[in-house]
Amino acid sequence: MDKIVIVGAGVAGVNAATKLVDNGYPGELITIIDMGNDPYKRKPEEVMTGFLGAGGWSDGKLTYHTAIGGHMSKYCGEDKAMELFNEVITNFKRFHPKPEEVQCSNPEAEPDFIKPYFGLRLFPVWHVGTDYLHEIGKNWYDYLVSKGVNFEWNTKVEDIDFENNHVLTHNTHLNYDKLIFAVGKSGIDFAQELAKEYNLPDEPKPVQIGVRFEAPQHHFQKLIDISYDFKLYRKFDNEGVSLRSFCTNNNAAYVAVEETYGDHSYNGHAKKDEAYRNNMTNFGILMEIQGIDDPFEWSREVVKKLQKNGTGLYYSPTRKPSTTSEGGEVTATQVDDLTDFYDAMDGFAKYIMDFISDMKRIFPTLGSDWGIYMPEVKYLSPEPLVNYENLSLTAYPNIHFVGDALSARGITVSGAQGIYVAENVLNNN
Ligand SMILES: Cc1cc2nc3c(=O)[nH]c(=O)nc-3n(C[C@H](O)[C@H](O)[C@H](O)COP(=O)(O)OP(=O)(O)OC[C@H]3O[C@@H](n4cnc5c(N)ncnc54)[C@H](O)[C@@H]3O)c2cc1C
């Protein structure tokens, strides 16, 4: 039987190990190395490291839909992805001191008034409860230890020799037959170093670019009452373009300037304190475009073209840029028309402007009372190319990438990827 080393005791690594020992795999053949602490020693300020990783100190919301939280169904199909999500949720319940308190919030049906123009993404979420995650962690850890799984805590993996199958830490080197690489967001730099060192090919990524839209909140209130962080979307399959509203902020909602690679782009945030209430709403209107040859370079060019006087652009038929939460102006050069936007976006600006026109139909008071900050952009981090049947690297079939280190963005998908790999290991031993 294979000797398995799991780098990262986060959500993905722990779910993988659990699947293995649940099915009789000898725990003694599994070693999990983590740079953080075991659940008994882990301190609240250790947000990203230790048993259950970032998931251990998270909000404990387990999303339950294949369109949310990263990629699973692209590897294994919808039905299998949902089956794996169920397994992750069952694991959280199983080690929960009060499993009956794990509840699923049921979204309401899509309201009729938006239907002709947009879809509204509503998805179920299981709530584990932050307060219980520590207890879950301890119970879960005890189970794995009882099954013989070896843990190395406070041990950072510094290098991995893919050719000779060993993992290097500051004081040891450990051989493996199979490696599960589950380092999460806290290990993303390490993952990128390895990708460079071993020249790992990437998954082709779509472009994600658009604008940050802002308007007084009352125009959107009837939708906000149904879904605070509403997600409108539409898709043009034949044109390889889809659009969605992204990261909605309300009540005390501010637009923020981001500086990436020396250029300005926009994002938004909401303050919790009532003192900051400005009764505004802002959200990204992001477009995902498939089939652009070098999406990173293309996006960089678009962003560059949308800079004027050292910052991004603002357009509104009637309004001025808003103030920041500190009371200053949001840095943006106001333009009188959208010529620069149409020029920069290479034929794709029309999708955004159609989205806004249709919002005016479903929110009839909106009219000209809105503004857009240009651009909003997401530079997607490279994702190593893996074999879809077991998430192993195409050039190194005994090395499996899982969780946020691959393509997950949340707990359910990370756990599901771990279990998926474990199933493959079980089938081949
Ligand atoms: C504050 C916060 C709240 C969140 N809330 C939610 C939520 O409510 N719902 C949700 O779905 N998602 C949430 N997330 C995201 C979720 O926690 C992650 O998507 C998930 O934990 C990723 O699982 P993973 O196993 O890939 O990585 P992680 O859980 O991050 O685990 C990675 C582990 O690898 C270890 N590691 C990294 N590098 C090395 C190295 N070189 N050597 C040894 N060990 C290493 C780390 O110590 C860590 O324990 C939240 C994230 C944060 C930060």
Going from the C-alpha of 74 to that of each of 112, 205, 404, 408, the distances in angstroms are 30, 13, 15, 12
Residues belonging to the chain? 429
Q: Which of 369, 370, 414 lies closest to 391 in space, CA to CA? A: 414
Query: Ligand 1 center to residue 126 CA distance, Å?
Result: 18
Torsion angle of the four alpha carbons 284, 231, 413, 192, in this order, in degrees rounded to the nearest 10: -10
Residues linked to residue 63 through DSSP beta bridges, in sequence order? 125
Whose CA is closest to atom 4 on ligand 1? Answer: 58
pLDDT, residue 131, reads 80
Which pair of structure tokens corresponds to residue 150?
């070896």
Cis peptide before 107 (omega within 30 of 0): no
Query: Ligand 1 center to residue 16 CA distance, Å?
Result: 14
Going from the C-alpha of 21 to that of each of 16, 113, 190, 203, 360, the distances in angstroms are 9, 50, 28, 31, 55
pLDDT, residue 196, reads 94
Query: Ligand 1 center to residue 22 CA distance, Å?
Result: 23
Q: Which of 70, 68, 67, 41 lies closest to 56 in space, CA to CA? A: 41
Whose CA is closest to atom 23 on ligand 1? Answer: 11
Whose CA is closest to atom 18 on ligand 1? Answer: 410
pLDDT, residue 276, reads 92
pLDDT, residue 303, reads 97
Query: Ligand 1 center to residue 273 CA distance, Å?
Result: 28
**Whole-angstrom Cα distance, residue 188 to residue 8?**
12
Which residue ranges have their beta carbon within 6 Å of ligand 1?
7-13, 33-36, 47-50, 53-55, 58-61, 63, 69, 156-157, 182-187, 190, 403-405, 408-412, 414
- Mutate-to-test residue for ligand 1 from 185, 188, 412, highest number of ligand atoms within 8 A of CB: 185
Q: Which residues contact 198 (CB under 8 A, 6 or more apart)?
A: 162, 395, 396
Query: Ligand 1 center to residue 55 CA distance, Å?
Result: 5
pLDDT, residue 109, reads 76
Cα 88–91–95 angle (5° rounding)? 150
- Mutate-to-test residue for ligand 1 from 14, 35, 88, 179, highest number of ligand atoms within 8 A of CB: 35
pLDDT, residue 107, reads 72
- Mutate-to-test residue for ligand 1 from 58, 102, 127, 229, highest number of ligand atoms within 8 A of CB: 58
**Whole-angstrom Cα distance, residue 381 to residue 354?**
29
- Mutate-to-test residue for ligand 1 from 64, 153, 404, 421, highest number of ligand atoms within 8 A of CB: 404
Residues linked to residue 393 through DSSP beta bridges, in sequence order? 386
* Distance in angstroms between the alpha carbons of the first and the last residue of the chain: 6
Whose CA is closest to atom 17 on ligand 1? Answer: 55
Q: Which of 266, 270, 301 lies closest to 286 in space, CA to CA? A: 266
Query: Ligand 1 center to residue 133 CA distance, Å?
Result: 13
Look up the pTM and report it. Answer: 0.84
Q: Which of 40, 35, 58 lies closest to 412 in space, CA to CA? A: 58
Query: Ligand 1 center to residue 411 CA distance, Å?
Result: 8
pLDDT, residue 313, reads 98
**What values do phi and psi take at 12, rounded to 5?**
-70, -50
Mean pLDDT by 10 residues, the chain (429 residues): 98 98 98 98 92 89 90 96 98 95 81 89 84 93 98 98 97 95 93 95 89 98 87 92 92 92 92 90 95 89 97 98 91 98 97 97 97 93 92 97 95 98 96
